[in-house]
Structure 1
Amino acid sequence: MTLTYVIDGSRVTGLERFWEVIGEAVNGPGGYFGRNLDALADCLGGGMGTPDDGDFDFEWRDHAVSARALGHEETARWLRQGLERVHPSNRTEARRRLDAAQAGRGPTLFDLIVDVLRDGTPGGLRLL
């Protein structure tokens, strides 16, 4: 039987809060399930609270609330924070992505998180 983890999108007010909400959805209060996109993808691979047989999915309720909270403004904030850590050979691309987010263009954090969840969740992702 498939185990469904419920992400309460009404509780997502930004990226840091998203990490708390998904951590609690999978591992209970104070639970961890990634603090960046790469870690989220790793957690989806197993061993971080999901069933060993990989029979699980996600249901993201009130996803439209999360989409607004993880929109271009939050994406630009996240990209700005990471700009100083970007390898010099990638700074031009990082700056282009930041400029696009500040102009309200390009993928948002919500889009990136949805992509990771869709690609890595065996049972899939339902946006409600």
Structure 2
Amino acid sequence: MTVTYVIDGSEVTGLERFWDVIGEAVNGPGGYFGRNLDAFADCLSGGMGTPDDGDFVIEWREHALSARALGHEETARYLRRLADRAHASNGPRLRAEAARAGEGLGPTLFEQLVEIIRDRTGPDALRLL
């Protein structure tokens, strides 16, 4: 039996809020399902609330609202924060990516999240509504 997890895209106002929304969709109030892109990808691989057989679907309702909230502006902010904490050898690359995102270029956080979901679960496990 396929389990469906619903993301209410109208509640996603930025990346930090996305982590809360996906955590609660999968694991209930206060639930955890990653707090960074790598942890999120790991959670999608199983053992963090999803069925062991991987038979689940993520239904992302009002995804266009999330796409706006997780667009280039939020992506630039995220990358600047990463650059501030990164090893000195990674800082310049992250700052350059942040500058590109600030100009409306490069992949957005929304696009990265969608790609991670599809890579880890298959193309049919994500429904953008």
Tell whether the structures are fold-level matches, with TM greater than 0.5.
yes
Is 2:25 the counterpart of 1:25?
Answer: yes
Instruction: Specify the alignment match of 1:40 in structure 2.
Output: 40
Matched to 2:18, the amino acid is F
Distance 1:26 1:91 in 2: 33
Matched to 1:40, the amino acid is F
Are the equivalent residues in 1 in contact too, given 2:83–2:92 (CA < 8 A)?
no
Are the equivalent residues in 2 in contact too, given 1:58–1:121 (CA < 8 A)?
no
Q: CA deviation at 1:45?
A: 1.1
Are the equivalent residues in 1 in contact too, given 2:44–2:50 (CA < 8 A)?
yes
Name which of structure 1's ranges 105-114 and 78-87 shifts more when overlaid on structure 2. Answer: 78-87
Is 2:125 the counterpart of 1:124?
Answer: yes
Matched to 1:101, the amino acid is A
TM-score, structure 2 as length reference: 0.94
Matched to 1:59, the amino acid is E
Distance 2:96 2:107 in 1: 12
Distance 1:13 1:81 in 2: 17
Are the equivalent residues in 2 in contact too, given 1:5–1:56 (CA < 8 A)?
yes
Q: CA deviation at 1:90?
A: 2.5
Distance 2:4 2:115 in 1: 18
Instruction: Specify the alignment match of 1:108 in structure 2.
Output: 108
> What is the DSSP-based 3-state SS (H/G/I as helix, E as strand, rest coil) of the residue aligned with 1:26?
helix
Q: Percent same amino acid among aligned pairs?
A: 70
Segments ≥4 residues shifted beyond 6 Å:
none
Higher RCO (C-alpha 8 Å, min separation 6): 1
Equivalent pairs counted in the alignment come to 128
Instruction: Specify the alignment match of 2:11 in structure 1.
Output: 11
Distance 1:88 1:81 in 2: 13
Q: CA deviation at 1:95?
A: 2.0
> What is the DSSP-based 3-state SS (H/G/I as helix, E as strand, rest coil) of the residue aligned with 1:88?
coil
Are the equivalent residues in 1 in contact too, given 2:83–2:90 (CA < 8 A)?
no
TM-score, structure 1 as length reference: 0.94
Q: Which runs of 5+ in 1 are unaligned?
A: none
RMSD: 1.2
Distance 2:53 2:65 in 1: 32
1:46-104 alpha-carbon deviations (Å, 9 max, x no partner):
11100111111111000000000001111111111110222333333212211101111
